[in-house]
Amino acid sequence: MKKVLALMGSPRINKNTDRLLTLMLKGIEDKGHEISKVHIVKKKVLPCTGCNYCGKKGECIIKDDMEEIYKGFDNSDIVILAAPLYFNTVNSITKHVIDRCQKYWSIKYQLGQNYRRNENRIGVFLAVGGTDYSHEHFSATIPTIDLFFKAINVEYRGNYFVSGTDKVPIEERKYIKEELYEIGYNIDNIKNFYCHR
């Protein structure tokens, strides 16, 4: 049994991002893993101010709901981030959470301390975008997610992207249900994957 932290980054609960994530979580749940799902929009997460307090103290000076999300990162084997595409990258409330993970970068590279290295933790990224399919639709997100997963020391194991959600919402895409369930069910030992529907 693995501990899974699932971050839902859309401000719109039960819309495309949330539904996509839920389809994967169903498989994860049926396999018996323990899921902690966080709707970022329900949390107060202020933006990083770049004060470099974390570079000196190893913790963030801002005391808000990010403290709960930090605990989630610290205690999870698998981290799933789901976000909508806004201006070709992850939306701002999701980016606030990512930027606040500067703390982990500072712990490792400024303070030279260990943070959960070599523990075989897994990171998976899901995203939706309103406009029609194009090959590069989600490519601007990948370097950001790559650095984010490196900061929290999870191995970037896979992407699941869905284009065109403004025309055909997730709820109408029955064919992806089985695929997402399958990935979720096998999440703890899945090989690298890249799906773009």
Ligand X SMILES: Cc1cc2nc3c(=O)[nH]c(=O)nc-3n(C[C@H](O)[C@H](O)[C@H](O)COP(=O)(O)O)c2cc1C
Which of 109, 133 has the CB closer to ligand X?
133
- Sequence-distant (6+) residues with CB within 8 A of 111 are 55, 58
Q: Which of 165, 173, 180, 187 binds ligand X (CB under 6 A)?
A: 165
CB closer to ligand X out of 62 and 127 = 127
Please tell me whether residue 94 binds ligand X under the rule CB under 6 A: no
Is residue 25 at the binding interface for ligand X, with CB under 6 A as the rule?
Answer: no
The site string for ligand X over 104-133 (x = CB under 6 A, - otherwise) reads: ------------------------xxxx--
| First-last CA distance in the chain | 30
Subset of 4-23 contacting ligand X (CB under 6 A): 10, 12, 15-17
- Per CB under 6 A, 88 contacts ligand X: yes
Quote the least distance from Cβ 16 to ligand X, whole Å: 3
Residue nearer to ligand X on the CB measure, 17 or 106: 17
Which C-beta is closer to ligand X: that of 49 or that of 134?
Answer: 134
Residues that bind ligand X (CB under 6 A): 10, 12, 15-17, 84-88, 128-131, 165-166
